[in-house]
Amino acid sequence: MITTQEQYSTAVAEARTAAAAYYTDGTSAIDDDAYDRLVREIQAYEEAHPEAVLATSPTGKVAGGAVVGDVPHTVPMLSLDNVFSAGQLVAWATSLERRLGRPVEAWSVEPKLDGLAISARYRHGRLTQLVTRGDGVAGEDVSHAIGTIAGLPARLAEPVTVELRGEVMMTAKQFEDACAKRQAHDGTTFANPRSAAAGTLRAQDRPYVCELTFFGYGALPHPDDTSEQAASLRELPHSEVMAWVAAQGAQTPAVTDVGGIVATTLEEIQERVEHIAVRRAELPFGIDGIVIKCDLAADQALAGFGTRAPRWAIAYKLPATEKITKLLDVEWNVGRSGIIAPRAVLEPVVLDGSTVSYATLHNVADITRRGLMLGDSVVVYKAGDVIPRVEAPVVHLRTGDERPIPIPQVCPLCGDEIDASQERWRCVRGRACRVIASIGYAAGRDQLDIEGLAESRIQQMLDAGLIADFADLFFLTREQVLGLERMGATSTDNLLAAIERAKAQPLSRWFCALGVRGTGRSMSRRIARHFGSMDAIRAADAEAIEAVEGIGPKKAPGVVAELAELAPLIDKLVAAGVTMTEPGWTPPATPGPDATAGAEPGDTSGLPLAGMSVVVTGSMSGALEALTRNQMNELIERAGGKSSSSVSKKTSLLVAGENAGSKRAKAETLGVRIVGPKEFAGLVSKFI
């Protein structure tokens, strides 16, 4: 909080510097969220001390007052004021309706795109000039970018003289391609899509070209144009203007399911806000809020404009999913299959509602591609349930004190050699490097569910030479287990009984217990349903494995190779009497091609969830209370459905327990059927 004039002056200078960097080439020493908070603190101090307001203050100015241009706008190109909560949105809308003296009949609600505002000027239907927003009065001519911006046609459908206004940005794919080109050129990458778009829009002498994307949000005839067509365009509701823009061949957010809609009540506005918010993480482009504006031209004209923003529109800002922080260290961890995984240690930062101290770095190749160094200021990204990841270094903030990240030359756990033949490095000992973790995972509740097999017990068995992998568990004798320290007759019998019960687990759990890289519980269930038996899986080649939903041509060969590596372990399981088949599956009547290609489990058409994609969220109760999430997913699939972890337009049913949260909100927005635990238990009662 700013409490002194000195702090206020420092904050104004910091905000002005950040705004100048952000609105010119997209770089800044602070992230968007930090800038918004800084400006709000400046504004609060100014409200309490109006006599102390500096002329250089960013409040009330387009682009924080730090940007100038040399191409005058025909009509001022203003910014938007912000709200940060549903309560603030209601207060703004109520104040606006008081100003109008009547209720607003229609509201336009559309995503706030995280790009750079530009004016695209057309003369007789031909694109002639591109101008940035600048200070709202004048902008910078960037017409050299014509021809590199997708969604912005060189000619409109009609030979009109008009100005299209919108955002220039990079989609996720364009950003990936731009980073690859920059990496090849100078070994660095862009910090984020917005800075990449800002730099690209202004670049005139780069040896490589990066594509941009345009999304329109308005159209203006020239103020001096008195034609009937110009008058008609000025009088159209905003929603119809956007339809006209799209009809001219320019891209608008309407190409996505978060495109603009017209709402008539605040409740409808909030529903749309929630819909766009839950879709945010899945979008191929960045958004940082939702824009709500009066749809009718008459309401806009009556509300008028302030010095910085129109009074008839507001931006509902969403929580930040991206922050700048320091990369303090890199830890090298070894997974249960021997994979060596780097993890970024970060200066703690609050991101998307939680404090982030660690983030994913994927592998050595990823570190190299991004050009990361210890001590770097880095962009950290998180959205929804996604694990935080380090996006890129903020190169312009480097001080010269940064250091290369030490890359291990031997396995950081056991000291043996590293297999670096693939992007994901692995200890040459594979699972043997972390054999305790591998056995413990296989015996876990969601795999073989062998109760009583704690890590300390596994270590005892390894030390005694009784086991070398989890298959050896099925050859243990009562005498061997009794001989272990602190193992009495009762605990021994209970453990051996749990091991024996594990033999009856379905194929999906056995396959998951193997810990094949790139497959988890959900993928193991798909593989089990597709092939039906372990024999069929082992006989399948890469092409057959690729036929499983979710396994592409890159992953399939790796699955085949790892199954070959696991052959001795699987053979031991077979020798122990484990059948490893999926319930409902029967082997082919006659040996032949079908025996190796895999057989589908029985027909599910008569089952209660046949053809349905089902998502479970919240705490279950009643008959479902004791089930883990994995057991719920297995129940769904026994009843003929397909379990999923995320709600989408393809979701057929959401099972919502207590504290269902955002998934329920998204399902309501999409019109997905929602049932409680009791109703769902009734649907699948025969399978519980």
Determine if the pTM surpasses 0.85: no
CA-CA distance, 666 to 671, in Å (whole number)? 9
Confidence of residue 585 (pLDDT cuts 50, 70, 90): low
CA-CA distance, 190 to 407, in Å (whole number)? 23
Confidence of residue 592 (pLDDT cuts 50, 70, 90): very low
- Note the pLDDT tens digit of each residue in 174-226: 998 998 898 888 888 888 888 889 889 988 888 899 999 999 999 999 888 88
Write down the pLDDT at residue 602: 46
- Confidence check: pLDDT of 586 > 60: no
CA distances from 46 to 42, 308, 311 (A): 6, 16, 21
The mean of the pLDDT values for the chain is 89
CA-CA distance, 304 to 295, in Å (whole number)? 14
Range list of H helices, 415-473: 435-443, 455-463
Share of the chain above pLDDT 70, in %: 95
CA-CA distance, 390 to 325, in Å (whole number)? 10
* Residue 450: strand pairing partners: none
Range list of H helices, 586-676: 593-597, 629-638, 662-670
Confidence of residue 591 (pLDDT cuts 50, 70, 90): very low
Residues in the chain, how many?
A: 688
488 burial (CB, 10 Å; 0-12 / 13-18 / 19+) is: exposed
- Confidence check: pLDDT of 590 > 70: no
> Strand (E) positions, 12-89?
71-72, 82-83
- Helix, strand, or coil here: 6? helix
Residue whose pair of structure tokens reads 């050299």 in the numeric block: 144
Range list of H helices, 576-628: 593-597
Write down the pLDDT at residue 120: 97
- Confidence check: pLDDT of 22 > 90: no
Write down the pLDDT at residue 283: 86
Domains of the chain: 5-65 (1.10.287), 71-317 (3.30.470.30), 322-419 (2.40.50.140), 430-502 (1.10.150.20), 507-597 (1.10.150.20), 613-687 (3.40.50.10190)
Which tokens hold the place of 620? 């279950």
CA distances from 17 to 23, 28, 52 (A): 10, 8, 20
- Helix, strand, or coil here: 388? coil
DSSP state of 155: B
| Catalytic residue ranges | 112
DSSP state of 233: H
- Confidence check: pLDDT of 551 > 70: yes
256 burial (CB, 10 Å; 0-12 / 13-18 / 19+) is: middle
